[in-house]
């Protein structure tokens, strides 16, 4: 049985990389997609591609830092498809640099998107999931949410925060009997636009070299999202770490 067929799933950060790959993967398995990101042209192209193959998808320009944008995605899901089953909190930034570079604007941006964006998404869906006593919240952390790397202090901090928030959410949902499932994904070098956002020249060059040597397609993470969503309703698989076979992380 395909447990994904007919599920309504919100994806943030849906315009490229892991979000885009996951949209296509879930659409192939019969999910109805609600796509959110800041670039409307990318969202429209992805939604059109899904619909051209007989799938169902809608989209909305979304800045996850704005609480109201997250709420609007939930409202769009209900208006378009009559329900909501899952959300994949995937929006993220990685403008890494040594702390001594004092890129404080990038520190704030990472905290806003990587932490507050996740919290805003959780806040947007929890009332619905709690009321219906079902739902699935999946988030993208990083291997940087499991280990700390020089030159990535703030990014690591934000991704460790995601780990903590999601684990507490799982425990609280179990205690409350709300049947809300959770999954946190920790990817290593996976194809995305993250490296393109690094403005520190030395850091950018090092990461580009790393990713060019090791990165695997974003679809590999999409496979994990599909696996989590396809589990029986009584089963929660809460954490996934994945990366290139040849990358020593």
Which band of pLDDT confidence, cut at 50, 70 and 90, is reported for residue 76? very high
Q: Residue 89 belongs to a domain with what CATH number?
A: 3.40.50.720
The number of distinct structural domains making up the chain is 1
- Domain containing residue 224: 8-235
- pLDDT tens digits, one per residue of 77-97: 999 999 999 999 999 999 999
Provide the total of helices (H) and of strands (E) in the chain, helices listed first: 8, 7
Average pLDDT over residues 29-54: 97
Considering the domain boundaries, does residue 245 fall inside one? no
Can you tell me the distance from the alpha carbon of 185 to that of 79, in angstroms, rounded to the nearest whole number? 29
Q: Which residues are catalytic?
A: 155
99 in a structural domain:
yes
Asked if the model's pLDDT at residue 191 lies above 70, the reply is yes
Question: Is residue 214 assigned to a domain?
Answer: yes
Cα(132)–Cα(116) distance, integer angstroms: 25
Answer yes or no: is 248 within a domain: no
For residue 193, the model assigns a pLDDT of 86
**Residue 159 included in any domain:** yes
Q: Which of 1, 12, 2, 14 is nearest to 50 (CA)?
A: 14
Closest residue by Cα to residue 113 from 13, 222, 241, 9: 13
Other C-beta atoms within 10 Å of 151: how many? 18
244 in a structural domain: no
Distance CA(136)–CA(197), nearest Å, equals 29
> Do the domain assignments include residue 243?
no
pLDDT digits (tens, 9 = 90+) for 144-178: 999 999 999 999 999 999 999 999 999 999 999 99
Q: How far apart are CA 49 and CA 47, in angstroms?
A: 5
3-state secondary structure of 138: strand
Burial of 4 (0-12, 13-18, 19+ CB in 10 A): buried
pTM (predicted TM-score): 0.96
Grouping H, G, I as helix, E, B as strand and the rest as coil, residue 20 is helix
- pLDDT tens profile 102-132: 999 999 999 999 999 999 999 999 999 999 9
């Amino acid at each position: 049985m395909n447990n994904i067929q007919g599920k309504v799933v919100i994806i943030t950060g849906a315009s490229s990389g892991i979000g885009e790959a996951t949209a296509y993967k879930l659409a192939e398995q019969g999910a109805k997609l609600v796509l959110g990101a800041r670039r409307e042209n990318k969202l429209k192209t992805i939604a059109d591609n899904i619909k051209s193959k007989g799938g169902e998808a809608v989209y909305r320009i979304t800045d996850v830092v704005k609480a109201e944008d997250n709420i609007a995605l939930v409202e769009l899901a209900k208006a378009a498809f009559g329900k909501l089953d899952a959300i994949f909190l995937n929006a993220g930034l990685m403008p890494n640099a040594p702390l001594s570079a004092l890129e404080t604007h990038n520190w704030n941006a990472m905290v806003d998107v990587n932490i507050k964006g996740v919290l805003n998404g959780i806040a947007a869906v929890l009332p619905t999931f709690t009321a219906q006593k079902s739902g699935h919240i999946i988030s993208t952390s990083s291997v940087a949410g499991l280990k700390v790397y020089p030159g990535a202090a703030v990014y690591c901090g934000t991704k460790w925060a995601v780990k903590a928030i999601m684990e507490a959410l799982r425990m609280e949902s179990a205690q409350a009997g709300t049947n809300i499932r959770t999954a946190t994904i920790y990817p290593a070098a996976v194809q995305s636009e993250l490296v393109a956002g690094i403005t520190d020249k030395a850091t950018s060059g090092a990461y580009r070299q790393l990713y060019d040597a090791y990165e695997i397609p974003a679809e590999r993470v999409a496979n994990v999202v599909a696996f989590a969503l396809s589990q029986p309703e009584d089963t929660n698989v809460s954490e996934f770490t994945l990366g290139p076979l040849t990358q020593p992380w």
